[in-house]
């Protein structure tokens, strides 16, 4: 009987702790954007061409390797380039590891964008190949 009570209490504590901590992805959805995996992005790209992929790294990083179809818009200039975007269009933000793109996602959500996603793990997590050594207009 004691073992059953202990297991019940342990299960109850686990459930309560999960409720208190919550799911990290749910918090980001509540923040107005969501993290997606490389596999999810690949599926989206294979099924739709209406996705805008924005790489928020610096030009030298983008040139070293970026996801085909992504456009370069450095995070440091987000206030200017974000004004050019459709606030309802699906936007996937990309960086090296997912941190700068998460910052950009929060910024876009704060500006009223409604369909913002962050590539979890950035280009480091992208197993489908990168485009390298591309001349970037205006990056000289």
Give the active site residues.
95
CB 4 within 8 A of CB 81: no
Q: If we measure between CA atoms, which residue out of 48, 56, 69 comes closest to residue 102?
A: 56
Q: Which residues contact 27 (CB under 8 A, 6 or more apart)?
A: none
In the 8-state DSSP scheme, what is residue 51?
P
């Amino acid at each position: 009987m004691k073992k059953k009570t202990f297991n019940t209490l342990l299960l109850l504590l686990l459930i309560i702790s999960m409720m208190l901590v919550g799911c990290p992805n749910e918090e980001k959805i509540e923040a107005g954007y969501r993290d997606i995996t490389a596999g999810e992005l690949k599926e989206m790209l294979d099924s739709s061409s209406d996705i805008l992929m924005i790489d928020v790294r610096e030009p030298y990083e983008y040139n070293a390797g970026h996801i085909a179809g992504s456009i370069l818009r450095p995070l440091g200039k987000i206030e200017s380039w974000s004004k050019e975007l459709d606030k309802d269009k699906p936007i996937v933000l990309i960086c090296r590891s997912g941190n700068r793109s998460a910052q950009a996602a929060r910024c876009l959500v704060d500006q009223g964008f409604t369909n913002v996603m962050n590539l979890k793990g950035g280009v480091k997590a992208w197993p489908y190949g990168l485009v390298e050594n591309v001349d970037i207009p205006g990056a000289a």
